[in-house]
Structure 1
């Protein structure tokens, strides 16, 4: 799209004025010319196609006959989605300060789950939800922070009564007494090594960070420790974790109870 004729005329006029003005006027005119040039650049920028009706598709997913579609797309049931939304809603409500209306918390959570659950780029998520890529980035950051705040409410080490219960159920199932958890490590794949550091490349030759997790007999995570570079040995990760320190101090397990690796 060609720049408006009047804008071009203004630019020519200001260029003329700059040639015979004091320093303050020249500075002001240069600022105005930069603003005009930016306006022209935006006017000539091609529009990015977006889907503006996707939220209606989601409304169809919650119908009884389509309930499985929601879980297929977002990796959790609609009931679990509603439960999670209730916990993070307050952190996702933004004050309206003019301009475009804030995005509803439910849409923010859907964008977040779509980005994580389908391995889509932010550009693809923006296209689907009718948003800009920068808005998707902001949403993913905000929802991540809101969910991380829930960590202590969700990931909790079992108390004494729960440890006895877990140990009893494990012994009834596999015959091993005293087990209150199962510990192992895994790798979270990274798109690239931070700073190009070779230590992030694991034995399978891809960049990652280590995740150490403990689960109970129902596969519920009771402890998680993350952040070491991919090449780090599991034993070193364990020795540097709070889990190890508390276990060594005798403040984590009941007498004759332990985690199984």
Structure 2
């Protein structure tokens, strides 16, 4: 991560994570707090190994880790994790159309599992179809690999369509906050509203496009449509790949409470590609 980006992050978080020295101990500076949290997220390191790198107690890092994560979500989130509007969204749809020859796409949606330590009394709810305990991270990405919307915290056993149904994004769609305009006219008179690409694991809605179920009787038009959709959905799959490569805690597993595991996944700076914004993903 470039030093200028790190300093920018520290400057934004410092007012809310700085503590006062006491007569019993000196507080850990804001830059050390941020650096320790970023190292743990990037390496997937435990508290003890992280503490060794900074010369502070592991219990101290365990104490401020959730505080810093909370501020990353609360302070950086509103600035850096936003649904594009106006000309910004026009650029998104144009890039999708160039990539897959389909008009008016505003994002591609997918999910990934994040390994977590499930509560002992609810472990069954967290076992996913791959037979390990996890939370579900749902995200919508553009062709640049930037995540435009993120929803996390549902147990791994919950089906894709139910995760989407219960997500804040669906609430936004139904309240008219997103996927409203522009409505374009194609084939002379068909009015096409904005939509997102998803895979066949979801239930069809008016604001999403799912692939056709291909059979021996399927038309060439249906097959071609599926090929185009694959070219669009690949961007969210790549975004997840970049996310896991940069922040190995998502692969190693989050050995903390379920509430904090969900907050870790929601850290907004993870969901941008290098160069798009000064974010935690840069570096």
Q: Return the TM-score normalized by structure 1.
A: 0.67
Unpaired segments of 5 or more residues in structure 1? 1-75
1:190 aligned partner: 116
2:24 aligned partner: 99
* Pair 1:252-2:173 in alignment: no
8 A contact 1:193–1:207 mirrored in 2: no
The count of corresponding residues between Structure 1 and Structure 2 is 186
Q: 1:203 aligns with which of 111, 129, 142?
A: 129
Partner Cα distance (2:17, 2:50) in 1: 18
8 A contact 1:166–1:217 mirrored in 2: yes
* Pair 1:151-2:77 in alignment: yes
Q: 2:62 aligns with which of 123, 137, 145?
A: 137
Q: How much has 1:193 moved relative to structure 2?
A: 4.2
Partner Cα distance (1:208, 1:216) in 2: 25
Q: How much has 1:104 moved relative to structure 2?
A: 1.1
Structure 1 residues 37-76: aligned runs within 5 Å = 76=1
Partner Cα distance (2:28, 2:160) in 1: 42
Residues 1:193 and 1:175: Cα distance change in structure 2 (over 3 Å)? same
Q: How much has 1:174 moved relative to structure 2?
A: 2.3
- For 1:85-126, what per-residue CA distance to the aligned partner results, in whole angstroms no more than 9, with x for missing partners? 121111121112222221111111111111111121111222
Could you say what secondary structure the match of 1:218 adopts? Answer: coil
Unpaired segments of 5 or more residues in structure 2? 184-192, 199-283
RMSD, matched Cα: 1.7
Q: 2:144 aligns with which of 214, 218, 231?
A: 218
* Pair 1:79-2:16 in alignment: no
Q: 2:42 aligns with which of 92, 100, 117?
A: 117
Partner Cα distance (1:108, 1:91) in 2: 12
Could you say what secondary structure the match of 1:252 adopts? Answer: coil
Q: How much has 1:250 moved relative to structure 2?
A: 3.8
Structure 1 residues 12-51: aligned runs within 5 Å = none
* Pair 1:242-2:179 in alignment: no
8 A contact 1:193–1:201 mirrored in 2: no
8 A contact 2:123–2:133 mirrored in 1: no
1:49 aligned partner: none
Whichever structure has more helix as a proportion of its residues is 1
Could you say what secondary structure the match of 2:135 adopts? Answer: strand
- For 1:14-42, what per-residue CA distance to the aligned partner results, in whole angstroms no more than 9, with x for missing partners? xxxxxxxxxxxxxxxxxxxxxxxxxxxxx
8 A contact 1:111–1:139 mirrored in 2: no
Could you say what secondary structure the match of 1:177 adopts? Answer: coil
Q: How much has 1:237 moved relative to structure 2?
A: 0.7
8 A contact 2:51–2:61 mirrored in 1: yes
Q: 2:106 aligns with which of 169, 174, 180?
A: 180
Q: How much has 1:194 moved relative to structure 2?
A: 5.2
